[in-house]
Structure 1
Amino acid sequence: MSFPMNGSNIQVHSYKHNGHIHRIWEETIVLKGTSQEVIGGNDRILVKESDGRQWRTREPAICYFTAHHWFNCIGMIRNDGIYYYCNLGTPFTYDEEALKYIDYDLDIKVFPDMTYKLLDEDEYALHSQRMNYPKEVDAILRRSVDELVQWISQRKGPFEPGFIEYWYERFLQHR
């Protein structure tokens, strides 16, 4: 698999199971790009929704994508601490157009005190039925929710103390 070069500016595209585009993040600076993981940073970037709406992110963020896990994490740096928004979805792929993954609706929001909340279970149930998510995908996603919760509890990967701050300092050097 190809991967984006450190310092390059890429787009991130999320799709739905049916292949339709879901959301496009216009620009993310690659801070670490390997075939195994991509760590990127962005701040107040344009996001385009599939329905044509557009909005800007409100704060700096560090994005963590992995080629082996069915989730990705966005650490948002706010005045009162770091909040995480974790998307349950396929491992990333990368081509010259963008970093891409399939978003499977379920999300986990993590608060600065490392408490968390599972979100969008209703949306997952609806889309699972409408788009015929295979049983294998459902099983992988259920295991991935458990794995992500373990990472949060164990302060692993992007939840490790200092991880977001370290990569945010690297991001500031690329701006």
Structure 2
Amino acid sequence: MSAQQPADQAFSSSRPTEPGTLVGCRMRKWDGTPHWRFDAVHLGQDEHGVWLGYPAGTRFSRPGREYRTRYPGVVLFGEVGWVADIYRDHPRGVRLYIDLTTVPEWRAVPDGGDGRGPAFEVSGIDMDLDVLAVQPGSERARAHGEFYIDDEDEFAEHSVRYNYPPSVVAQVRADADALLAAVRAGEAPYDGPTADRWFAVLDGL
């Protein structure tokens, strides 16, 4: 996706290279409001993008909400505008959760990697729409189907509140539809085995 970034954001293109390097994931909304934040470890990179992972018990937080996961996950930051979170043993049957975002931005953290915090950060603007794949027969599948786009109402509301440019609205909508089709078709990296390879890396750290 090529949604435009607010002009006041300037990040280095530095990225981690060593598996196990701690990375801070710092999402925000269009107006700069902090959104989900969590720390994960670098697993590697392939043709789909940069893969991070986190174990069960990882803390996720945003203003007004915080929780610790009861399951491990791998997170794929693509080279375009989306972030895919792929789960193993999710208690509510979610297999895949793709956040539509602006293009992820990477930077090395000054004095990072000294044991007190992440050595790198990746950030982006959450663009509201999400693409989900859930277990057949789960409560969510009965309510929405096994594959669906979520938070349409939030996207419509924020398009007005934050005055998203029409080109961004069109691009996010088109990307969501394309991702839904790819997930439904089981295309890589949403095919299962692709993520399993990165879960194996996470398990070995």
- For this structure pair, what is the TM-score category when the shorter chain's length is used for normalisation? 0.7 to 0.9
Instruction: Please tell me whether the aligned partners of residues 73 and 158 of structure 1 are also in contact (alpha carbons under 8 angstroms).
Output: no
Superimposed CA distance per residue, residues 131-154 of structure 1 (whole angstroms, 9 cap, x where no aligned partner): 111101101101101220122133
Residue 54 of structure 1 deviates from its aligned partner by 2.1
Aligned to 1:23: 36
Residue 13 of structure 1 deviates from its aligned partner by 0.8
Q: Which amino acid counterpart does residue 124 of structure 1 have in structure 2?
A: F
Alignment of 1:1-175 (within 5 A): 1-7=13-19, 8-25=21-38, 27-33=39-45, 37-43=49-55, 44-51=57-64, 53-68=65-80, 70-78=81-89, 83-97=95-109, 98-113=121-136, 115-174=146-205
Residue 38 of structure 1 deviates from its aligned partner by 1.0
Alignment RMSD, CA only? 2.2
Query: Per the alignment, do residues 48 and 82 of structure 1 end up closer, same or farther by CA in structure 2, a change over 3 Å counting?
Result: closer
Instruction: Please tell me whether the aligned partners of residues 67 and 93 of structure 1 are also in contact (alpha carbons under 8 angstroms).
Output: no
Measure the CA separation in 2 of the matches of 1:67 and 1:144. Answer: 13
Instruction: Please tell me whether the aligned partners of residues 4 and 34 of structure 1 are also in contact (alpha carbons under 8 angstroms).
Output: no
Bigger radius of gyration, 1 or 2? 2
Instruction: Please tell me whether the aligned partners of residues 2 and 35 of structure 1 are also in contact (alpha carbons under 8 angstroms).
Output: no
Residue 158 of structure 1 deviates from its aligned partner by 2.4
Please say which of residues 143-152 and 78-87 is displaced more in the overlay: 78-87
Contiguous gaps of at least 5 residues in structure 2: 1-12, 110-120, 137-144
Measure the CA separation in 1 of the matches of 2:72 and 2:191. Answer: 18
Runs of 4+ in 1 over 2 A off after TM superposition: 33-36, 79-82, 112-115
Instruction: Please tell me whether the aligned partners of residues 4 and 33 of structure 1 are also in contact (alpha carbons under 8 angstroms).
Output: no
Contiguous gaps of at least 5 residues in structure 1: none
Instruction: Give the structure-2-normalised TM-score.
Output: 0.76
Residue 20 of structure 1 deviates from its aligned partner by 1.8
**Higher strand proportion (structure 1 or 2):** 1
Q: Which has the higher contact order (CA 8 A, sep 6+)?
A: 2
Instruction: Give the structure-1-normalised TM-score.
Output: 0.88
SS at the partner of 1:67? coil
Q: Which amino acid counterpart does residue 35 of structure 2 have in structure 1?
A: H
Residue 37 of structure 1 deviates from its aligned partner by 1.7
Residue 22 of structure 1 deviates from its aligned partner by 0.9
Query: Per the alignment, do residues 79 and 61 of structure 1 end up closer, same or farther by CA in structure 2, a change over 3 Å counting?
Result: closer
SS at the partner of 2:16? coil
Measure the CA separation in 2 of the matches of 1:79 and 1:99. Answer: 24
SS at the partner of 2:189? helix
Give the paired residue count: 171
Measure the CA separation in 1 of the matches of 2:188 and 2:159. Answer: 29
